[in-house]
Structure 1
């Protein structure tokens, strides 16, 4: 894997900034000290403009030329450092979207002295040039990959510095007290205290509170970012496909079949209320002697293990004949194995079940298990589908999202927050037990280090390489 240098390289890099393939237009981006000069060497303005003499943030129409050959009519955007995304001189060439034209222009720029950019190198340069911190840079990748309103909102807030500002403020206050503690060590023989211990204790309590809130938010943030897995459990032909079609409707996002036998799982994704849900269609969990079906049942439990919510779908027409006994067996199996997982019993074909029977079934199920959610729907007639969507949304704590609070979605940040909290609690313990200032100072330094890892105030080649290697080329 490529390892990025900590020192900023000022060579000029080039990459296609739009998705590869043919389209109406394509954008080719160049960044570096000589970016504008290189662009000017292949550009003939329709008004004979010299790009190197133009103001920043201006657009210019003309042609890309190689000798006497015209490659394309283009529009060039000029951004002069430090007032650009990367903090360097940058130009963006908007050309026609032919893959042949894209390749010809990029190859020409390479011959003129550009180098092909590594994945994420434009954003890396923005970070190294102080245009954004590390958590904001990571939010750029999250923003590009966001596929629903909630993940987009979180990425936008983080890219604007919401998370960074909160961490930076805590780090600064802690750093001030750390300086006073260090000062005390310099005057150890005089036995003086520069750091007010009461104020310090109050600060540690505040930091601990904020860290715990951010750590708790990861449970919500992680599922919002990656989608909430929902296992649909039910025997064949109970209406799972019909239910999925009714749920997906016009909000369908991604549909894909996982290769395997017909008794394998199928996953569908959709967005409900701005939140992504991944529906995992599984086999039933009834007793069977069939070897292949037994394998399917084993996989069902594996999928339930991975799910955040379990939907038990039942054919309502069978209830009229068999009653609730078979359902109760399946409910008991799921509840015994996964007592903490939310379980929703969905009885399909409501339209053919007498109203009195529905009321009796509902009362009997909820009386035996008052925490059980039971819904009667008709997937075919789309009756009760909205109730199911609302039920699913109720399992997601979106209060923080609505209140625009900081939500942690990045595993690296989560890990650093856990370690920072551990160090803060060590400092608190040291303060309460009158531990020597030099030992308290060591714990404070470790907490500051973990804060610094999040925003990039502490970084190394390996860390940067791991983060930016996951970016797309051109960003």
Structure 2
């Protein structure tokens, strides 16, 4: 499947900038670049060592397009495993396109999305899970997502899977060997050792599968819905969390008619805060639509912050308790933070009353910023980041999660077969299926459609 042609693409974001990098990869990369590059010292690129940088000019005949730095990476010691040339030119859109068009005329082909990384995978420089981690690393926008992507790109996840697969493959070979000597009734695979291996694989798979709940929300950002009655300070709280005037704030109840979303990083974890329309009975058609969307956002949120005005507690405490009970009953598994806002406007007596009637209450003044740090700490406590601190493997990719689930199901079948004395030929079938799903993760088992779907999500120059 490896294309033998030479590809070219812009590796830096499109648009004007100080510097742009154009990447070329393939058998003819150095030869094509050499024809268009004029070194200031008269060097021939083809005679230069790998991993060297050269100053010169990109020439189109007698016309100088730009002065550039040209880097050479010779196979197999390059990102793609092929000869690679990277040209650092000035970031003018015109210069970028002139250089790319020049190399296209000289025999290069425009790279497709993710084709450089695809070639790295096909040439054995990366396994499939590492290649997917490259895309995750590029899109990571908080410390936790970056840490997970870096660990997977370095092979932490794939090496763990590869080790399990190798051990299982060894036992599978012994089981298959027993089938060849079925008439002699011999066992080459020690059943006790095999049971121990299956138990250990089950534990590892279960841990990896369970980690997806944390990994997925870290990768995508943890959605937090801010809900409550109109004019209790939801928009002010959003602005305080974001440290900017993102939402319109006024004394008029129902100012927020639609949901407003923005994301910030807290302790290295991405949180996506959703300021919703106030929940109340209304005949305003537009506001009613906003309230309907509020409940939709609560459905989608991982965490719910219920905000109320501490000043109104005496008058609305019974209604408040009913609303909180409704949310708890409807979303029993969803963390709920109950916050009394505007406490700067009430006395200590009322604060004590609120705390006695709602023990889990958190006190806040979104306007002054009091209690914001305690709120962010509470949000972090809700997220299981122990795995991150311990540098454990965390699954963030839904394809990996699906393959792990299927592998776990097959391993459970093998475990049951061992416990019930199932014959070797039936055990071998389930073992083969488990091995197949392990291979799907790292790329030992793949097809063109799968690769097309994965690499289509990459940017062109990667």
Tell me the residue number matched to 1:471.
458
> In structure 2, how many angstroms separate the alpha carbons of the residues matched to 1:275 and 1:139?
18
**For 1:161 and 1:342, how far apart are their aligned partners in 2?**
34
* Contact in 2 for aligned 1:285/1:330 (Cα 8 Å): no
Question: Which whole-Å CA distance do the structure 2 matches of 1:401 and 1:448 have between them?
Answer: 28
Deviation track 1:300-329 (CA, whole Å, cap 9, x = no partner) reads 22111111110011122222x515223112
Secondary structure, aligned partner of 1:324: helix
Deviation of 1:337 (Å): 1.6
Partner of 1:347: 340
Are 1:273 and 2:267 counterparts? Answer: yes
Q: How many residue pairs were aligned?
A: 456
2:432 is the alignment partner of 1:439? no
The residue that corresponds to 1:189 in the other structure is 183
Partner of 1:102: 96
1:234 to 228, 232, 241: 228
Task: Verify the 8 A CA contact 2:238 2:247 in the aligned structure 1.
Answer: no
**Distance across 2 between alignment mates of 1:9 and 1:347:** 63
The CA distance in 1 between the partners of 2:25 and 2:446, in whole Å, is 23
How has the CA–CA distance of structure 1 residues 348 and 262 changed in structure 2, closer, same or farther, with 3 Å as cutoff? closer
Matches within 5 A, 1:278-289: 278-289=272-283
The counterpart of 2:171, out of the listed 166, 177, 180, is 177
Match of 2:201 among 200, 207, 210: 207
| Aligned with 2:130 (options 136, 143, 163) | 136
CA contact (8 A) 1:28 1:94 kept: yes
C-alpha distance in 2 between matches for 1:135 and 1:33: 26
1:363 Cα deviation from its structure 2 partner: 1.2
Is the 1:347–1:375 contact (alpha carbons within 8 Å) kept by the matching residues of 2?
Answer: yes
Cα shift at 1:190: 0.8
Find the aligned partners of 1:296 and 1:97 in 2 and give their Cα distance.
45
What is the root-mean-square deviation in Å for CA atoms of aligned residues? 1.6
The answer to which of 293-302 and 47-56 deviates more is 293-302
Equivalent residues in 2 for 1:27-106, closer than 5 Å: 27-106=21-100
Larger displacement relative to structure 2 (155-164 or 295-304):
295-304
Looking at structure 2, the residues matched to 339 and 431 of structure 1 have their Cα atoms a distance apart, in angstroms, of 39
User: Judging changes above 3 Å, is the alpha-carbon distance between structure 1 residues 256 and 193 closer, same or farther for their aligned structure 2 residues?
Assistant: farther
Task: Quote the offset at 1:292 in angstroms.
Answer: 4.2
TM-score, normalising length: structure 2: 0.96
Q: In structure 1, the residue corresponding to 2:209 is in which secondary structure?
A: helix
Instruction: Give the 3-state SS of the residue equivalent to 1:26 in structure 2.
Output: strand
- Using the TM superposition, give the Cα deviation of residue 237 of structure 1 relative to its aligned residue in structure 2, in angstroms: 2.2
Any residues of structure 2 matched to 1:291-440 within 5 Å, and which? 291-319=285-313, 322-366=315-359, 373-440=360-427
- For the residue of structure 2 that corresponds to 1:83, the secondary structure is coil
Pairwise CA distance, 1:247: 1.1
Give SS of 1:404's match. coil
Q: Deviations over 1:24-47 (max 9, x none)?
A: 010000000010111101000000
The DSSP-based 3-state class of the residue aligned with 1:264 is coil
- Partners of 2:256 and 2:278 within 8 A in 1: no
CA distance in 2 between partners of 1:249 and 1:468 (Å): 37
Contact 1:39–1:91 (CA<8 Å) still a contact in 2?
yes
TM-score (norm 1): 0.94
2:258 — aligned with what? 264
1:267-287 superposed Cα distances (whole Å, 9 cap, x missing partner): 111110000001111123334
**Structure 1: distance between partners of 2:446 and 2:85:** 29
